[in-house]
Amino acid sequence: MAEFKPIRCNFCGRSEYEVAAVFAGQGGAYICSDCIKRLGAEQKRLEKDVLKSDEGFEEVPKPTAIKAGLDKYIVGQEDAKRILSVAVYNHYKRLKCAPGDSVRLEKSNILMLGPTGSGKTLLAKTLADIINVPFAIADATTLTEAGYVGEDVENVLLKLIRAADNDIQKAERGIIYIDEIDKICRKSENMSITRDVSGEGVQQALLKIIESTVASVPPTGGRKHPYQECIQIDTTNILFICGGAFVGLDKIVEKRKDASSIGFTGALKKGDESYSESLRELQPDDLIKYGLIPEFVGRVPIVATLDPLDKEALIKILTEPENALIRQYEKLFEMDGMRLRFTDAAIEAVAERAILLKTGARGLRTVIENAMKNIMFELPDKASEIEEVTITELTITKGQEPEITYRRSGAQGA
339-342/175-179 β-pairing = unpaired
362: which residues sit within 8 A by CB, 6+ positions away?
A: 116, 117
What does each of the 414 residues of the chain score in pLDDT, given as a tens digit?
A: 456 678 888 888 888 888 888 888 877 788 888 888 888 777 766 654 444 444 445 577 888 999 988 888 888 888 888 999 999 888 888 877 666 666 777 788 889 888 887 888 888 888 888 888 889 888 888 777 655 555 677 888 888 888 888 888 888 888 989 888 888 777 655 555 455 555 677 788 888 888 888 888 877 765 555 556 778 888 888 889 988 888 888 888 888 877 544 444 544 444 445 666 677 778 888 888 888 888 888 888 888 888 888 888 889 888 888 888 899 999 998 888 888 999 999 999 999 998 888 888 888 888 999 888 888 888 888 888 888 889 989 989 888 888 888 886 544 554
CATH number at residue 178: 3.40.50.300
CATH number at residue 381: 1.10.8.60
Same domain membership, residue 145 and residue 213 = yes
Q: Is residue 268 in some structural domain?
A: no
Q: Is residue 320 in some structural domain?
A: yes
Same domain membership, residue 244 and residue 135 = yes
The Cα–Cα gap between 123 and 356 comes to 24
The Cα–Cα gap between 166 and 271 comes to 53
Q: What is the pLDDT of residue 261?
A: 46
- Per-residue exposure over 27-43, b if at least 16 CB sit within 10 Å of its own CB, e if not: eeeebbebbeeeeeeee
Q: Residue 202: name the closest of 136, 295, 135, 79 by CA.
A: 295
Same domain membership, residue 188 and residue 117 = yes
Q: Is residue 283 in some structural domain?
A: yes
Strand order across the beta sheet in which 403-406 lies = 339-342, 386-391, 403-406, 412-413
Q: Is residue 265 in some structural domain?
A: no
Please give the single-letter amino acid code of residue 128: A
Task: Quote the domain boundaries for residue 171.
Answer: 63-256+273-305
Predicted structure pTM score: 0.71
Q: Is residue 266 in some structural domain?
A: no
Same domain membership, residue 144 and residue 169 = yes
Q: Residue 231: name the closest of 221, 216, 220, 209 by CA.
A: 216
214-217/231-234 β-pairing = antiparallel
143: which residues sit within 8 A by CB, 6+ positions away?
A: 150, 151, 152, 153, 155, 156, 184, 198, 202, 205, 206
Q: Is residue 80 in some structural domain?
A: yes
Q: Is residue 267 in some structural domain?
A: no
Q: Is residue 263 in some structural domain?
A: no
Number of domains forming the structure of the chain: 3
Same domain membership, residue 378 and residue 340 = yes
